Chains A and B, each alone.
Chain A
Amino acid sequence: MAEHGQSRIEQSPAKAQRSYNFQRFADGWALFCENPVGRLGLFLLFCFGAMAVLSYIPPMLDPMYHPMTGVDPAISSSTGPSARHWLGTDNLGRDLLSQLLTGARIAFMVGVSAAFISIVFGTLIGMIAGYAGRITDAVLMRFADMIMVMPSLLVVLLLASLFGQLNIWIIVLLISLFRWPGVSRIIRAQTLSLKQRPFIDMARVAGASHLRVIFRHILPNVLPMAFLYMTFRVTSAIIVEAALAFLGFGDPNTVSWGMMLQWVWKTGHMFQAPYWLLPPGICISLITLSFYLIGRAMEEVLDPRLRREEGL
Chain B
Amino acid sequence: MQTIDTSKKNPGAADIPIIEITGLKKVYRDDRSLFTRAAPALTAIDGVSLEIKKGEVFGLVGASGSGKTTIGRLILKLENIDEGFIRFQGKDISRLKGRELKKFRRKVQLIPQDPYQSLNPYMSVFDAVAEPLIIHNAGDSHTRREKAAQALKAAGLTPAEDFFARYPHQLSGGQRQRAAIARAMVLSPEFVIADEPTSMLDATISFTIFQLLADISRQQDVTLLFITHDLAAARFLCDRIAVIYNGKIVETGTAEDLITNPGSDYTKALINAQPGFTFVKQK
Contact = CB atoms under 8 A, between A and B. Distances in A.
Any A–B CB pair closer than 8 Å: yes
Interface in B128-145: 131-132, 135-136
Interface stretch (B158-166, B240-248, B252-260, B274-282): B158-166
A120 interface: no
Contacts of B121: 221
A203 B131 contact: yes
B202 to A, nearest CB: 7
Nearest to B116: A198
Contacts of B183: 202, 206
Interface in B152-177: 161-162, 165-167, 170-172, 174-175
Interface string A203-235: 111111100100011001100000000000000
A17 B160 CA distance: 13
Contact of B131 (A6, A208, A220): A208
Contact of B166 (A20, A199, A220): A20
Interface string B98-141: 00011001101110111001111111100000011001100000
Given A4-B204, A14-B161, A198 B172 contact: no
B250 interface: no
B114 A198 contact: yes
A9 interface: yes
Interface string A1-21: 101111001100010011010
A198 B110 CA distance: 11
Chain B CB count within 10 A is highest, among A1, A17, A221, for A17
Contacts of B4: none
A216 B132 CA distance: 13
A20 B174 contact: no
Contacts of A201: 73, 76, 78, 110, 112
Nearest to A197: B117
B135 A207 contact: yes
Interface residues of A, number: 28
Nearest to B136: A207
Contacts of A212: 135
A198 B118 contact: yes
Contact of B110 (A1, A9, A202): A202
A1 B222 CA distance: 25
Contacts of A199: 117-120
Contacts of A10: 162
B233 interface: no
Contacts of B123: 217, 220
B109 A5 contact: no
B282 to A, nearest CB: 22
A21 B217 CA distance: 37
B205 interface: yes
Given A199-B119, A205-B76, A3 B166 contact: no
A5 B170 contact: no
Contacts of A205: 76, 78, 105, 108-110
A100 B97 CA distance: 62
A188 B174 CA distance: 33
Contacts of A217: 120, 123
B105 A6 contact: no
A18 B124 CA distance: 11
A6 B122 CA distance: 22
Contact of B122 (A5, A14, A204, A220): A220
B208 interface: yes
Contact of A1 (B76, B170, B204): B204
6 contacts: A5-B202, A10-B162, A14-B165, A17-B165, A201-B76, A207-B135
